[in-house]
Each structure stands twice: as structure tokens, then as C-alpha cells.
Structure 1
């Protein structure tokens, strides 16, 4: 079952890359008491993700913050090393928190997992964006096609805030 608007986000622990190496980030710490825009995508360094999805959030980071967003986070079913390297490659700095959901635990709990084994990519995340306030889903937009970027871009999220 897929998570819905009004649902509380499940407990999970993400991994993030720090100067000292990978570090855990509990979902309660990420979402608790904050307005968070979480966007997820099938894979780091993939064409749509690198050329369009992350850049849309970088270009609109200030506009999102101006609408009350405390944290912008990018999630992928990759490890912290990949997400850290991709964040550097994309120049996210402190504008976007790069979250590794390496075993897809959070992704599966949301019901937003995507089997791309036929393409040699294994279990991944669907492409989506959600707005959470204090850990509760306020808006959720899932792309029907994983290579499309119609409802989960920063521009689309801005219209929902």
C-alpha cells in the first residue's frame, strides 16, 4: 500500500555523507517539527535525475525556503558514498540533503519502490515529491513514468506550497 496525504511518515534511518564519512540520520530528526520537501528518484547519476530533477531543486531552493520549507532532501536507493559523490558533482552544498536509502527500507515502507531489475538496476524508488509538515504527508506527487519529470519537479512543488 502506498502512503497517502494525511499519513505519518514511517520511522527509518537514512545515511548521509559527512566530512568524517557516512553518518545515520533518523527520519524523526529529518522531519520532526519541520516543513520538508522530499524528492526521490530512481538513481544517482542517471540522465533525468542529474540533468533535470536535482537542478530544478537547486535553481528553486531559495523560492522553496521563502515559502516556509526548512529542509529540501533528495532520496535515492543508493549508498551514502554514491549520494555524497553525486551531491558534490551536482554542487548541492547545504541547499539539499542527500539521503541514502541503501536497502530501500524507507522506500518500501512508503510503498514507492520500483523494480528495475529488467534494466539491470534492481530495486529502486519511484520518482516522486512530497511535502511533509512535522512528519505528516501534506502533499504527494508520484510520476507515472520514472523517466518523466512532470509532477515532482521543484516548480510543481512550489505550486503546491
Structure 2
């Protein structure tokens, strides 16, 4: 069942990459409770749209989110080593955290997984973005397959 506006984010163990430092293991409750946050998810690190357009938009506009007191998280069903390498290659600034949902547990708990087996990717996250306050989903946007419109940094800045 897919998460809905007004529901609490599920509390799941997750790996966090921030500023190219060693990966931190924490829980999603620790990350989201008591905060205003935007989390966007991509089907995979180093994939074309994700690397050329989606993450770069959030890197470019990170300071605008920060100025509004909004934390930014990027999640993918990739391991922490891949997410760390992707952060370095994309020049992700300190504070824009990448969440490595290696086994897809958080993605599945959100009900936002997709089967990318036809493309050799296995189970991945759908492309989505959400805005949460104190761990409660206030806004949720899910892209149609092949699109990048409602989950861009610009769209989320306009929405929050």
C-alpha cells in the first residue's frame, strides 16, 4: 500500500552519505522527526536522467531549500558505496544527504517500488518527491514513467 499525505513515514534503518564522509547508519525517524524535509527518490545512481537532470537540480538549488529551513535527502535503491561515489561525482554539497536504501526496505515500506527487471535493474524506487514535517507526509508527487516534471528541485521549491 502506497504512503499517503497525512501519514507518518515508516521507521526503517538506512545508510546516510553526507559530505563524502563515512556512511552513517541511522533510522528514518531520526532523520525526519522534528524537521522540515524534502526527500526525492531516483531509480538509480549514475543513471542518465538521475545524473544529468534530477540530482543536479537539487545541488544547484540546495541553498534555497536550506534558507527555508528545509533539509534535503536523495534516496535510491543502491548500496552506500555507490551512493558515496555518486555524491562525489556530482559534487553534492555538505548537508544534502544521500540515502542508500540498498535492499529497498524503505522504498517498499513507502509502497513506491517499481520492477526495473526489464532493464536489468531489479526492484528500484519510482521517481518521486515528498515534503514532510516532523515525519508526517504533507505533500507527495510521483512521476509518470519516463517523466521528470513534478519532482524537480524547481517544482518542489514552488510547492513548499
TM score, norm. by length of structure 1: 0.94
Mapped contact 1:17–1:81 kept (Cα < 8 A): no
Mapped contact 1:77–1:125 kept (Cα < 8 A): yes
Q: In the alignment, does 2:52 pair up with 1:68?
A: no
Q: CA deviation at 1:20?
A: 6.7
Please name the residue that 2:119 is paired with.
119
Q: CA deviation at 1:104?
A: 0.4
User: What RMSD, in angstroms, separates the aligned Cα atoms of the two structures?
Assistant: 1.3
Equivalences for residues 35-114 of structure 1 within 5 A: 35-69=36-70, 71-114=71-114
Q: CA deviation at 1:87?
A: 0.3
Cα distance in 2, alignment partners of residues 111 and 148 from structure 1: 19
Cα distance in 2, alignment partners of residues 108 and 92 from structure 1: 26
TM score, norm. by length of structure 2: 0.95
Cα distance in 2, alignment partners of residues 21 and 159 from structure 1: 33
Structure 2 unaligned spans of 5+: none
Please name the residue that 1:129 is paired with.
129
Q: CA deviation at 1:159?
A: 1.1
Structure 1 unaligned spans of 5+: none
Cα distance in 2, alignment partners of residues 57 and 120 from structure 1: 27
Please name the residue that 1:27 is paired with.
28
Cα distance in 1, alignment partners of residues 94 and 148 from structure 2: 23
Secondary structure at 2:23's aligned position in 1? strand
Secondary structure at 1:37's aligned position in 2? strand
Q: CA deviation at 1:131?
A: 0.4
Please name the residue that 1:5 is paired with.
5
